[in-house]
Copies of this chain bind each other. A is one copy, B any other.
Amino acid sequence: MTLAFDSTDSIRSAQPLRHAQSVTFDKPLKLSHGSELPGVTVAYETWGTLNPAKDNAVLVCHAISGDSHCARHDEQDDPGWWDELIGPGKSIDTDRYFVVCSNVLGGCRGTTGPISTDPRTGKPFGGSFPLVTVTDMVSAQVRLADHLGIERWAACVGGSLGGHQAMTWATRYPGRVARCFAIATSPRLSSQALAFDVVGRNAILRDPDFHGGQYYDKPTGPTVGLALARMLGHITYLSPEAMSTKFDLDRNQPHEIATDFEKRFSVGSYLAHQGDKFVERFDANSYVTISLAMDLFDLGATPRELRTLLGKSACDWLIVSFSSDWLFTPKQSCEMAHALLREGRSVTYVEIPSDSGHDAFLLRNEIGRYGRLLRAKLDGPSRNPSENVADHNAHSLFNSSGIEYEQIMQFIPKGSGVLDLGCGTCGLLAKLRERDGQDVRLMGVDVNEEKILLAVEAGFDVIDHDLNTPLSMFEDGAFDVVVLSQTLQAVNDVQALLDEMVRVGQRAVVSFPNFAHRSLREMFFHQGRIPKSPGAYGFDWHNSPNRRFPTILDFEDFCRDKGYRIETAVALDLQNGTRVTEEPNLHADTAIYVLRRASGPSR
């Protein structure tokens, strides 16, 4: 296969984009590292209409090699880099929102950057362009927002470096951001990601055609160095799985391309093509400038520093990561979500399962999945919470029902902040919201992507988290009540989880099927068979997701042993819809306990 393109030299002047407007601010822009720019031009594009209340504006921030063209403006237009996400009727609906996307400071697509003319010399800045940070990029965007009359963004949205910008808005201008959507990003680059950037920059800086950045008047620019940096970038954007799928089988059949780079291997021709193509549209000085800004972005080296900085925000957060993204890892997104939660912020965090690596945030397939999350957070609840009651208890031995929720709710004082572990689609939280109104803090934790999505669409914040790992994202006593409803039997280390529940909640409410119910005992005693589930799910001994078989007696012993104070205990016969007072361990099919730390603070 031949990939047709002309390899030309690196770009020599900022090429304006067709739909870009620009505005120039003559007032010098003070930069965070001390120097200043004599003035600044910002190139930007807009979609949709700013409403009279001016509260429907969404700022979209681009990544290292992006530009202001995030979506097409009409049918004939070139697609934008986030075309699947933004447009009429799409997740960020331009019929509803006024979308703004500007080229970053230091870029080469219309906004002031190294290729721009320094008014003080009449020549391009080149290597004398000052060091800029993400904060400076946002300072330029602030001027644009003021210019457009936007006091407060409905949302700041960005992936990768775009996420860094969105987070900078949220933390430095908390009054001007209602929502922050940080996609495939990080509080600061991992040392590995930083290392790749260092090598890429060194390839440019040590290219003999770089000339300290003063190459615009030279016959050639540092095209080899820039292409090498881009090749390296491409490896880090793809997951190993994606590379394997793309290149393993035809490894020794490179595409026939015209290039001066090595032509062996299919992956070699791909990288050569990406490198050659990039130098046609991007400026090496901009690449150095922007990659350095990304490397200097730093919300803190420690969880405490991260909390301090993210705690300055006052918006609603959505954080999305992709499972195979090794450049901006799910672990880093988790750290951000955890810091925000520890600071009491409203956060939904989801890790999308994907084989596409960091690139996932730009790919059609993946946008279909996380776009729904963005839309739900942006537009507000789109589902009737009462639809949520249904599929809560996939692991229940007995058919659970509204009765159980009603019982649990009796132990949750009105107005309590509640965390529901294994929340499913947030059926219990929906009932609590019906009862207590919108102003209480209700959150869910689950691992099922589809259920999380439904819960978010019903207006709840959910954290994508495995209950077999600690709840370290929540402060001691962060909630009045932490609920674990019909999930205990699927947990690996029961004590570890209950310790966390009574740490995070003033009270823990635990409901579970009582495996010592007479029907199960009799079956086991007389028939010598492990009881089959009488519930709807029909798991057998050999394939049940249940791995723990709590009984009322065992559970109470356990609580005594481990130092949980049992504040209330209720035994239920859910099948008959009654409470059980006589011999509960024999007659109850379900038990609900309210626990506290034995030595815990009283309310």
Contact = CB atoms under 8 A, between A and B. Distances in A.
Interface string A304-339: 000000000000000000000010010000000000
A495 B232 CA distance: 45
Contacts of A548: 541-542
A182 to B, nearest CB: 20
A191 B525 contact: no
B558 A542 contact: yes
Contacts of A264: 198, 292, 295
A335 B238 CA distance: 23
A50 interface: no
A537 interface: no
A533 interface: no
A257 interface: no
A304 B257 CA distance: 32
Interface in A519-541: 521-522, 524-525, 527-530, 540-541
A495 B541 CA distance: 11
Contacts of A298: 251
Given A206-B261, A261-B206, A542-B548, A271 B195 contact: yes
Work out how many copies of this chain go into the complex. Answer: 2
Interface in A182-205: 188, 190-192, 194-196, 198-199, 201-203, 205
A201 B196 CA distance: 16
Contacts of A272: 202
A301 interface: yes
B528 A301 contact: no
From A196, A235, A326, name the one whose CB has the most chain B CB atoms within 10 angstroms.
A235
From A493, A495, A542, A548, name the one whose CB has the most chain B CB atoms within 10 angstroms.
A542
A515 interface: yes
Nearest to A357: B192
A550 interface: yes
A228 interface: yes
Contacts of A295: 264-265
Contacts of A550: 530, 541-542
A267 B542 contact: no
A383 interface: no
A490 to B, nearest CB: 10
Given A199-B271, A265-B194, A326-B240, A206 B224 contact: yes
Contacts of A527: 553
Given A195-B267, A247-B191, A261-B202, A549 B530 contact: yes
Interface string A536-566: 0000111100011111111000100000000
**Leading 3 A-B pairs by shortest Cβ distance:** A516-B528, A494-B542, A525-B525
8 contacts: A191-B240, A198-B267, A202-B231, A202-B261, A202-B262, A240-B329, A494-B543, A524-B524
Given A240-B329, A494-B542, A530-B550, 19 more contacts: A191-B240, A195-B231, A195-B247, A199-B228, A202-B231, A202-B261, A203-B228, A205-B262, A206-B260, A232-B232, A251-B298, A495-B543, A515-B530, A521-B524, A522-B525, A527-B553, A528-B586, A529-B553, A541-B548
Interface of A: 188, 190-192, 194-196, 198-199, 201-203, 205-206, 208, 224, 228, 231-232, 235, 238, 240, 243-244, 246-249, 251, 260-262, 264-265, 267-268, 271-272, 292, 295, 298, 301, 326, 329, 493-495, 515-516, 521-522, 524-525, 527-530, 540-543, 547-554, 558, 585-586
